[in-house]
Structure 1
Amino acid sequence: MHITLRQAAVAACLLLAGGAATAAQPLQNAIISASYNAGGMLGIADDYAGSSVSGLDPLNTSVEFFTSDALFGFDFAADGHLTIYNNSTIPTGAYIASFDFGASLGAAIKTFTITDAGLTSGVPLLTVADGHTITIDLSAVRWNGDYSALQTNITLQAVPEPASAVMLAAGLLGLGLRARRRNR
């Protein structure tokens, strides 16, 4: 049986497409250490009893962190979304929270952006402090109602998937075979 180069390329693409990874969940197994300049953070991992370290809520039924002054809740999702809630009227003041993911992420944090300001006004200052820490300064945000939500997104540096490397190798092999065939 003789297989043409085109048939081999189509078969390779179908195999690779079938084995391609599903959409990435960049925060899937994250362990997060939180800090807050106006007090402390309470994490869901110990039912908000005082620990400032938590993983993601596997059932997504509760926020991962509350500030100890009960002003803010922080809800992380495996897909990289972070929703920040105000639990009551926020008095004027400085409110800065930091979240350190340590080595629990598969790649370094690339960006941290607002995706939906909701009912809030003013501008939060979102910073990628280093490859595994984000900082949120909420001091200039006006929440315009209780239980408002501010939506943000954390994206990680691109990491080539194993399937991408295989596809590159298959493409280079195909080009080499075609050039060889042409030279005959």
Structure 2
Amino acid sequence: MKKTIMETLVAAVLATGIAHAAPLPLQDAVITATYNGSADAIVGLDHLFQLEPGSNTTALDPSGTGVEFLSADAMFGFDFDASGLLTVIANSAIAPGTYQFHFDFGDTLAAPLTAFKLLDGSGIGGLPVLSLGANGKSIDIDLTGTSWAEFASLTAQLDAAAVPEPGSAALMLGGFAALAAGRRRTRRS
């Protein structure tokens, strides 16, 4: 009896997790960017990379095939994926200099960003610095002092806090109650 209850509970939890997958970290994000503190030094996809008022704000590329931002000097491209994967691409060989980028997601994220993990930095000399804003709604990328081979890239994974699902919590509480009831029955026997 106890084994059957436990198997049923595990199967139900797994099924609920699959049916109610959490939103992707950057799903539906709208991003506002600056480059070395200037909004005019970076341009976004929504404005077809043309410098005009508000061109430093863009939504994610719905096709997932292109970059969302280019630095106005065309040295760097930034691709954000709904899954949280960030790719920075050098459009040419780049010597060390001051390259600081700020990306603000405002209130467009389903959950605050809580972590990032550098996945690859092939073709880059020096150490890039990524940091999360205190509220989990922004990231800073400091490439100061790095050098880049032509078309070198940097990839990082941005992650958001897991948001507990009400259905999962209720299901787990129900499972614990069933286990407790099964134990009572076993003790009475």
Per the TM superposition, whether the score is higher than 0.5 is: yes
What does 1:68-83 align with in structure 2 at a 5 Å threshold?
68-83=72-87
Any unmatched runs of 5+ in structure 1? Answer: none
Question: Identity over the aligned pairs, expressed in percent?
Answer: 36
2:24 aligned partner:
25
Tell me the CA shift for residue 86 of structure 1: 0.8
Q: Distance in 2 between matches of 1:164 and 1:55?
A: 31
Whichever residue aligns with residue 172 of structure 2, its letter is: L
The two structures have a TM-score, normalised by structure 2, of 0.85
1:49 aligned partner:
50
Contact map agreement 1:118 1:151 (CA 8 A) in 2: no
1:157–1:22: structure 2 CA closer, same or farther, 3 Å change rule? closer
Tell me the CA shift for residue 70 of structure 1: 0.8
**Greater Cα offset, 76-85 or 110-119:** 110-119
- Partner secondary structure for residue 169 of structure 1: helix
Contact map agreement 1:75 1:83 (CA 8 A) in 2: yes
Contact map agreement 1:95 1:139 (CA 8 A) in 2: yes
Tell me the CA shift for residue 183 of structure 1: 4.1
Contact map agreement 1:34 1:97 (CA 8 A) in 2: yes
Aligned length: 180
Whichever residue aligns with residue 77 of structure 1, its letter is: D
Any unmatched runs of 5+ in structure 2? Answer: none
Q: Please, which of 71, 96, 100 is the counterpart of residue 96 of structure 1?
A: 100
Q: Distance in 1 between matches of 2:119 and 2:8?
A: 40
Whichever residue aligns with residue 10 of structure 1, its letter is: E
What does 1:109-128 align with in structure 2 at a 5 Å threshold?
109-128=113-132
Tell me the CA shift for residue 8 of structure 1: 4.5
Q: Is residue 2:137 matched to residue 1:135?
A: no
Contact map agreement 2:95 2:147 (CA 8 A) in 1: no
Contact map agreement 1:113 1:126 (CA 8 A) in 2: no
Q: Distance in 2 between matches of 1:91 and 1:68?
A: 17
- Partner secondary structure for residue 124 of structure 2: coil
Contact map agreement 1:38 1:95 (CA 8 A) in 2: no
Q: Distance in 2 between matches of 1:153 and 1:81?
A: 5
Tell me the CA shift for residue 9 of structure 1: 4.3
1:12–1:172: structure 2 CA closer, same or farther, 3 Å change rule? closer
1:9–1:86: structure 2 CA closer, same or farther, 3 Å change rule? same
Q: Distance in 2 between matches of 1:48 and 1:55?
A: 13
Question: RMSD across aligned C-alpha pairs, in angstroms?
Answer: 2.0
Deviating runs (4+, > 6 A) in structure 1? Answer: none
Q: Distance in 2 between matches of 1:17 and 1:166?
A: 14
1:128–1:17: structure 2 CA closer, same or farther, 3 Å change rule? same
Tell me the CA shift for residue 161 of structure 1: 3.0
Tell me the CA shift for residue 13 of structure 1: 3.5
Whichever residue aligns with residue 44 of structure 2, its letter is: G
The two structures have a TM-score, normalised by structure 1, of 0.87
